[in-house]
Amino acid sequence: EAKTTGKNRASQFQPEMASSFKRRTELENEMREGLGSGQFEVHYQPIVEIASRRVVALEALLRWNHPAKGRISPAEFIPIAERSDLISDLGEWVLRSAAADIVRLPSEVSVSINVSPMQFRQPGRLVAAIRSIIEDRHVPAERLELELTESVLVDDTEQTLATMAELRALGVRFSLDDFGTGYASIGYLATYSFDKVKIDRSFASVILENDASRSIVELVQHLAERIGFTVVAEGLESQVQVEAIAATGICLAQGYFFGRPEPIGPLAKRLAVSTVISED
């Protein structure tokens, strides 16, 4: 798994390669520094309507270009930030970056931002940060989507529901990220209301391999039609995966097949010409 090189190495980081105590301590200190000195960057990956190839949203994905250690994967540094007080600073930096970038995009393209469970545990601060980019920076709230992971939902249901209601009142939308991998049960789809549910990318490959996995994906799409949310299939890398997902009735997808995360500049330029992804 680890014998990849260059550009792709960062994305190959696996949680079980948990960094050593020494590296974690270094990264934590250097993150603080890096945030103030332009080492972080937001890349955006398209979320596409499968049938039309039209880009409906972009997911903001944080990148850290460490001056000595090179590109460090968010799968490594986000958990470190979550164990310190840095995650809210990082999260707010992403929000402000996205607020600046969203004005460069066609109005039919939303921006989707990952929110850490730790940010949800400081609801006052989170709501203030989001209110600020909507009210002070005039970001249209309906073009802002917040991606929550299942771990937020198992925390403190009452508090989470209250925070979501407060944010919803501002006009933002919610996606449930990485569905099907965590602790959350299907019951959470009834307790919380999500605009989108993103099926974890581990399903992209197994759906081709066994009927049970395909049935689970079909069940989620069926629930979506009944309950009223939209399913996004994550991590699609090939045409056959796209076809298998489309056959379940799922309309939205994200993955290397449609486009990798990239800086806003070139992406905004292409989207200004057309929001339809070209075939090559």
Task: Catalog residues that contact ligand C2E under the rule CB under 6 A.
Answer: 11, 45, 60-62, 73-75, 78, 91, 94, 114, 116, 147, 177-178, 201, 235-237, 254-256, 261
| Contact of residue 78 among ligand C2E, Mg ion, none (CB under 5-8 Å per partner type) | ligand C2E
| Residue 59 Cβ vs Mg ion, minimum distance, rounded to whole Å | 6
- Give min distance, CB of 96 to ligand C2E, in A: 12
**Site membership for Mg ion, residue 147 (CB under 5 A):** yes
DSSP code string of 110-148: EEEEE--HHHHTSHHHHHHHHHHHHHTS---GGGEEEEE
Span 174-203, contacts to Mg ion by CB under 5 A: 177-178
Question: By CB neighbour count within 10 A (0-12 exposed, 13-18 middle, 19+ buried), where does 231 fall?
Answer: buried
Cα–Cα distance for residue pair 199/217, rounded to 1 Å: 8
Cα separation, 213 vs 219, in Å, equals 10
Q: Which among 135, 220, 210, 132 is positioned nearest to 176, based on CA atoms?
A: 220
Nearer to ligand C2E, 145 or 147 (CB): 147
Identify what 73 binds: ligand C2E, Mg ion, none; CB under 5 to 8 Å per kind: ligand C2E
Cα→Cα distances 39→6, 34, 82, 134, 240, Å: 18, 5, 19, 26, 37
CB of 237 to ligand C2E, least distance (A): 4
Q: In the window 78-117, what residues touch Mg ion (CB under 5 A)?
A: 114
Pick from Mg ion, ligand C2E, none: which does 256 bind, CB < 5 to 8 A by kind?
A: ligand C2E
Please report, as ranges, the residues that interact with Mg ion according to CB under 5 A: 114, 147, 177-178, 234
